[in-house]
Amino acid sequence: MNKKVYIPAVSALLALSLGACSAQPEKPSASSSGNQDAKKTKLTYWTNDRSDADYIKQVIAKFNETNKDNLEVELNVMADNYDQSVDIAFASKQAPDILRVDFNKVVPWVKKGYLAPLDAYLSDDMKKKFASTLVEEKNIYEGKIYSLPNVGQIWRLIYNVDLFEKAGIKEPPKTLQELVATAKKLTEAGKSTGAYGFAGNFKSATAIDRVAYPIASLSGTDVVEGYNLKTGQYDFGAYKEIVQALRQMKQDGSMMPGAEGLDIDPLRAQFAQGKIGMYINHSSEPAVYKSQFPAQVKWAAAQVPTIDGTVKGAALVNGGAYLSISQDSQNKDKAWKFLEYMYSDEVQSGYQENGYGVSILPHVTSTAKKANIPGIEYFNPTKYDAIYPAAPTFTVEGKVEGMKKSDTLTKYLMQGGDLDQVINDLNTRYNAALEKVRAAGDTKSKGDPAFESAKLQGTLAK
């Protein structure tokens, strides 16, 4: 029986109207053989992921054709305003049955009453498989599991091999000082083609973090998103030397002009055309340079540099959540049937093998075949990649007065100023917001004096 998977390319409000009856069982419908007694339950699944839509359509089509429970899943890919659409859907009692959830939304959505706990559905085998990747306030809240992980963001320094060879540079930089010097050499070598040594998508609200926290965590600072996991306080001093290096590249003319207004896709397009020597991003890049922006240059990726060249910690791997069941769903047991399928070894291995992401699940990485996509090998987890405890930054930033950390540090990067004063101001404002969040009970996070990022080495991959 062939059933369609629907992906409406519509606005958030129109998507709501299409999903209005998603939480209720569909009226009985005839099967392809004409059996009028077969009942079919339609489940709606909302996601903001577009990059993997082709694969997800395929696996949903297979589920719709092969499941023995007369279930049909309808997929809605929300192009824009996903979070707002989810809020409106729950407010109007039109929520989908299944939601794609980011790790930093688990706690807020649980507190809003959007997500149902999964504990009662998990078999002992599944609990064992996922145990090492479950993190409090990423997919667990107050002892209950609301979403299981799948892939992670494995951070690397992506570089233009052709431009490196033209500049006579043998290997990627291993220290911040080498990063600055390499960017300068690449810019000199790229003058004739208008290439620059380094770029960042500094228009993004998380741009500074995307450069700073992989470097800071690998350097052993114990700081994630500015939050010190050992002390339980914000300490942006851990970013000082990293931000200074970025500022130096800006002053040297080694950073692509206009980086403060650059989004990630325009950056990728420029890199694919050979206009950028280096940048830092994660494991989605191989798929980008295979299809979205076919690379016109030879490229590679390496571990991000550390502050002084010494690896004292482990690079942060972002991950921790994927699919959740709506608390408002009238078909939670049936929705779990679909989640169980989506988290199966077959689907998860296929996701990695097709190059849509790099799994952080040991039972997948140990058995999945090598992905048929150039460059994916650079992003395989090593012993220097690790899943960290959650920082409360997403919740804290909702209470921070004044400019947020990334905008503040980007302003310094572009305009200069007194960096010590900037850091002290950030620490004061973020720790004041942290006190409010803790007092309200919106985070359980606290410092762990025994925490050492070096101990995380080898926990994700041997």
Q: In terms of domains, do 261 and 135 share one?
A: no
Q: Is residue 343 part of a domain?
A: yes
Q: Give CA–CA dist 354/340, Å, rounded.
A: 20
Q: Does 329 reside within a domain?
A: yes
Residues 235 and 266 in one domain: yes
The verdict on 18 and 161 lying in the same domain is: no
How many domains is the chain partitioned into structurally? 2
Q: Which residues pair with 152 in a beta bridge?
A: 358
| Domain identity same for 312 and 344 | no
The two beta strands, 233-234 and 227-228, are antiparallel
State whether 279 and 368 are in the same domain.
Answer: no
Q: Are residues 31 and 58 in the same domain?
A: yes
What pLDDT score does 17 carry?
39
Regarding whether 211 and 81 lie in a shared domain, the answer is: no
Full residue range of the structural domain in which residue 104 is found: 12-152+319-373
- Return the CATH number at 196: 3.40.190.10
The secondary structure of residue 390, as a DSSP letter, is: P
Q: pLDDT band at 462, cuts 50/70/90?
A: low
3-state secondary structure of 446: coil
Domain annotation covers residue 82: yes
Distance, in Å, from the CA atom of 411 to the CA atom of 285, rounded to the nearest integer, reads 27
* Residue 73 placed within a domain: yes
CA–CA gap between residue 346 and residue 235 (Å, rounded): 42
**Residues 163 and 113 both lie in one domain:** no
Residues 120 and 97 occupy one common structural domain? yes
pLDDT in tens, 369-386: 888 789 999 998 899 999
pLDDT tens profile 301-343: 999 999 999 999 999 998 889 999 999 999 999 999 999 999 9
Q: Are residues 268 and 212 in the same domain?
A: yes
Confidence bin at 354 (pLDDT 50/70/90): confident
> Are 41 and 67 in contact, with CB atoms under 8 Å apart?
no
Q: How many percent of the chain have pLDDT more than 90? A: 75
- Structural domain contains residue 293: yes
| CA gap 163, 185 in Å, rounded | 10
Closest C-alpha to 400, from 141, 225, 138: 225
Q: CA-to-CA distance for 305 and 272, rounded, in angstroms?
A: 22
Q: What is the mean pLDDT of residues 60-78?
A: 96
Q: How confident is the model at residue 21 (pLDDT cuts 50, 70, 90)?
A: very low
Is residue 286 in a domain?
Answer: yes
Same domain for 198 and 183: yes
Residues 75 and 95: their CA atoms lie apart, in Å, by: 13
Average pLDDT in the chain: 90
Last residue of a domain, one of 373, 388, 405: 373
Strands (E), 78-187: 98-100, 115-116, 140-141, 144-145, 151-152, 156-160
Q: Is residue 364 part of a domain?
A: yes
Q: Classify residue 7: in a domain, yes or no.
A: no
The contacts of residue 210 (CB under 8 Å, 6+ apart) are: 155, 200, 201, 204, 280, 281
Extended strands (E) in 296-340: 299-302, 315-316, 323-326
212 and 340 in a single domain? The answer is no
